[in-house]
Structure 1
Amino acid sequence: MHDDTLFSSYRYSKDDKTIHAVLQDRGDIRSFFNGGWFERYIHHKISELLQQSQLPYDCLANPVVKFSNGDSFELDLLFLISGEPLLIECKTGGDYNAHLKKFSDHRKRLSISPEKAFLVMLDLEDAKTERLSQFWKFQVVNQDRLIALIEKMINVG
């Protein structure tokens, strides 16, 4: 990553086997390390599934939705699969409680059905995702279960 100029400097600590790095001072690089990599990974996995299923689809990455009253917000991924929307929000960490209400509001405002709205939380335990899904009435999943649930959804729909 240093040779590709993502890091401006780094050092390896043999004692604790840790790399300490300083990112280049560029917004696109900071964005990638702050979660952009996860969005790309999820986009790739869903696109791969849809191509294998030979379903027609389009995808918008990071579209900004603006309403006539001035409200606006950015989505992570919005797929249109055989004319049906699929909303994906990706979170790598932090306080996920704040994201649940916000995602629920966005889903409702966009009139996307709960079974076609996925909040993907990196490494969140399956039992926790199931409880959150039941409470919030949309799909809360981790990266390991997302593709299987979408596969089930597109085969049923």
Structure 2
Amino acid sequence: MAILRCNNCAYLREVPNEHVGKTVKCPVCEQASAIHDTVVFVKKLIDKYGVLLGKYRELELAGNPVAEISRSDMRLHKDEEVDLHNTAVMTNSMQYKPIISWFERKNVQVEVNHNALDTQGFYDEVAVELGDNFPLLQDVLDKIRKAQRNNYASVVLNLNDYSQNQIKTITGFCKNLYEFSFVAKYFYNKNEKRVHLTLQSMSAIVGFFNGEWLEWYVFMKLLKHFYESKGLFSCLRSFNIQFANEDKYEVDVFFLINGRIPVFIECKSGEFRSFIEKYCKMRRRLDIAKENFLLLVLGVSDEQVLGLTKMYDITFVNETGFIKHIAELTAQ
């Protein structure tokens, strides 16, 4: 059954599922009221409850400055069945408060970006699909990025050299780009085996394809890893830190495991060499162990990862090995 809920008088009743999405008059106050899918409605209530509970706990802590954050505040319980791809629970200040405290102890201020933690959009889904199939979808990404750089309005993908299974994966991804409005139009000519995409020009979409997708991918894969392992963790993504001398930097991904193990990750989908010195200095300023400060470079080989890590004062990883490295790191 679906749910009819009036925002004006709080009238609530069940109605048949075929009415989901409709707007009707409330039988009590006659105000326009939406009919919701029950599962979606309940999930939204749970998310709102989590946010309000976090604010309540924050007020409690404000009234008791010496209170410690309990270990349970840092855990996303798997048995709560949180949909990691459709939740605002990571925006709860109690979730990331241990990270704020960790930086404050180093006299570093943090500016949180809640939009970068909210997975109720589709950036995370597209990023995971792209990352999990990157060897096959790299050509799609490269063509989109090239078109964006040259201000082209569309892209044509020739799939004649691909197998049926590969074509299914590529066209499925492109169709999802359209369904989630990452492209304006999608058409697949089966006879010619060509995909036609009309691109979006919005800066958020351009930025996503230009590298932000990799941040989302790393964030979501780690989130899933720690959530399923029922580990204690806090997380932030795409946030700013400011040192005491007012030096300001953006951090791509940061996890704090068990309240004490930092995992600092910078993601590079293109040129990375000019940033090595910057991150080596930042690691030393934050006093993070080398193995905990990661520069994830898309597409580098395992041999390059090993060699670069030996050469420099940070740890290099690639998109296929970062989960294993972090799992070993946090298992110690």
TM-score bracket, normalised by the shorter chain, equals: 0.7 to 0.9
Q: Which amino acid aligns with 1:5?
A: S
1:46-125 maps to which residues of 2 (within 5 A)?
Answer: 46-83=222-259, 84-93=261-270, 95-125=271-301
RMSD value over aligned CA atoms?
2.3
Counterpart of 2:329 in structure 1: which amino acid?
A: M
CA distance in 2, matches of 1:137, 1:22: 44
Q: Are the structure 2 counterparts of residues 24 and 68 from structure 1 closer, same or farther at C-alpha, using a change threshold of 3 Å?
A: same
Structure 2, unaligned runs of 5 or more: 1-176
AA matched with 1:96: F
Q: Of Structure 1 and Structure 2, which has the larger fraction of its residues in helix?
A: 2
How far residue 155 of structure 1 moved from its aligned partner, in angstroms, is 1.1
- Partner residue in 1 for 2:316: 140
Cα displacement string for residues 60-111 of structure 1 (whole angstroms, at most 9, x for unaligned residues): 1011011232210101011111112110111112x22112222212222222
- Give 3-state SS (helix, strand or coil) of 1:63's partner: strand
Deviations 1:98-155 (A, max 9, x none): 1222221222222211111111111101111111101112210111111111111111
Output the CA distance in 1 between the equivalents of 2:315 and 2:273.
14
Q: 1:73 and 1:153 mapped to 2: Cα distance?
A: 25
Residue of structure 2 aligned with 1:44, choices 209, 220, 224: 220
In the alignment, is the contact (CA less than 8 A) between 2:211 and 2:269 conserved in 1?
Answer: yes
Contact 2:279–2:314, Cα closer than 8 Å, also in 1: no
CA contact (8 A) 1:23 1:30 kept: no
Deviates more, 1:47-56 or 1:142-151: 47-56
TM-score by length of 2: 0.43
Q: Is the 8 A contact 1:10 1:22 kept in 2?
A: yes
Please identify the structure whose Cα radius of gyration is greater.
2
| 1:154 paired residue number | 330
Please report how far the alpha carbon of residue 24 of structure 1 lies from its aligned counterpart in structure 2 after TM superposition. 2.1
Contact persistence 1:11–1:20 (CA under 8 A): yes
Distance 2:247 2:292 in 1: 23
Using the alignment, how far apart are the partners of 2:212 and 2:225 within structure 1?
20
Identify unmatched segments of 5+ residues in structure 1: none
Q: Which runs of 4+ in 1 moved over 4 A?
A: 9-14, 16-22
Higher strand share: 1
Secondary structure at the aligned position of 1:2 is classed as helix
- Greater shift, 76-85 or 17-26, is seen at 17-26
SS of the aligned residue for 1:79 comes to strand
Cα distance in 1 for residues equivalent to 2:247 and 2:222: 29
Tell me: CA distance 1:21–1:134, structure 2 relative to 1, closer, same or farther (3 Å).
same
- The Cα shift of 1:20 comes to 6.5
